[in-house]
Amino acid sequence: AANLGLINLGAPATPADPARRSRAELEALALEGAALLKDAPAEDIARWAASTFGERFCVTSSMADAVVAHLFSRAAPGVDVVFLDTGLHFPETLKVRDIVARTMDVNVRSIRPRMTVGQQDGEFGPRLFARSPDECCFIRKVEPLERALSDYDSWATGLRRDESPTRANTPVVAFDQKKGKVKVNPIAAWTQSDVDTYIARWNVPVNELFKKGYGSIGCWPCTRRTKAGEDPRAGRWAMFEKTECGLHV
């Protein structure tokens, strides 16, 4: 009865649906977040993203390690974690995904491409990755990510500035003009040693391939071991002038 005065006949039953946030509103939120969180700890960035976007927010993870998934399991229990299941992952990567699903308070969504690898081979010929990796990445990663993100206004990644020169300017929060969504990179400022410290402190699962000489992990056909002193991402698409899969352009 105390709330009776708040009944507003004619108003929608539920308050403003966050799903209906306009592009301009999202752009403004991204600007606000970027200014507010420029030098903030990763935990604060994660809490801001979770409270600002609620159910219209997800984390994406390549399951190379599960640091960002873990960070959000603390900041936003039950959060959606999107994993792009290309059908060409190393078993070690799928193992990390399964451990995350089993042990963390998150909802892992394993998103598949529209075509199986076999169907793709039928349509484009076998080993498309060896001839046209951009096309293969589009079918197996870019389109599935776009499809998954249609459920959200904002998503988080584990991008870090020190991973490679192409990532040196990664902002903590930004509006992605192409996707029309807010991209959050809570550990953008972290170094490899910050990552290692977090993993040790929280006992976060890590892909076993790192111990076997891989510096960065993607699909098995496009990932090789890195040599001492090499850029960690040098082992990705090593046979091509390609360093990014197209997910972060």
User: Annotated binding site: which residue ranges?
Assistant: 136-137, 219, 222
Q: Which residue type occupies 28?
A: A
233 contacts ligand SF4 (rule: CB under 6 A): no
The answer to the question of residue 63 lying near ligand SF4 (CB under 6 A) is: no
Q: Which of residues 148-177 bind ligand SF4 (CB under 6 A)?
A: none
Whether residue 153 contacts residue 182, with contact meaning beta carbons closer than 8 Å, is answered with: yes
Region near ligand SF4 per CB under 6 A, out of 66-74, 96-104, 134-142, 163-171:
134-142
45 near ligand SF4, rule: CB under 6 A: no
Q: How far is the CB of 133 from ligand SF4 (least distance, A)?
A: 4
Is the Cα dihedral 16, 19, 20, 21 positive or negative?
A: positive
Rounded distance, CA 100 to CA 94, Å? 10
Q: How many residues bind ligand SF4 (CB under 6 A)?
A: 13
Does the annotation mark 58 as catalytic? no
By CB under 6 A, which span of 92-100, 133-141, 146-154, 182-190 interacts with ligand SF4? 133-141
Q: Which of 130, 245, 246, 249 is catalytic?
A: 245
User: What x/- string results for residues 87 through 116 when contact with ligand SF4 is judged by CB under 6 A?
Assistant: -x----------------------------
Q: Torsion over CA of 11, 14, 18 and 19, rounded to 10 degrees? A: -90
Q: Of the listed pieces 46-54, 128-136, 189-197, 206-214, which binds ligand SF4 according to CB under 6 A? A: 128-136
Please name every residue paired with 80 in a beta bridge, in sequence order, or none if there are none: 58, 107
Looking at 137, 156, 188, 206, which residue binds ligand SF4 (CB under 6 A)? 137
Q: Judged by CB, which is closer to ligand SF4: 95, or 224?
A: 224
Calculate Rg over the CA atoms of the chain.
Answer: 19
User: Which distant-in-sequence residues (6+ apart) come within 8 Å of 103 by Cβ?
Assistant: 205
What is the C-alpha to C-alpha distance for residues 141 and 134, in angstroms, rounded to an integer?
10
Share of the chain residues as helix, strand and coil, in percent rounded to the nearest 5: 45, 15, 40
140 binds ligand SF4 (CB under 6 A): yes
Told to check if 86 binds ligand SF4 by CB under 6 A, we report yes
Three-state SS for 55-122 is HHEEEECCCCECHHHHHHHHHCCCEEEEEECCCCECHHHHHHHHHHHHHCCEEEEEECCCCCHHHHHH
In whole angstroms, how close is the CB of 3 to ligand SF4 at the nearest point?
Answer: 52
Active-site residue set: 245
Q: Under the rule (CB under 6 A), what is the footprint of ligand SF4?
A: 86, 88, 129, 133, 136-137, 140-141, 218-219, 221-222, 245
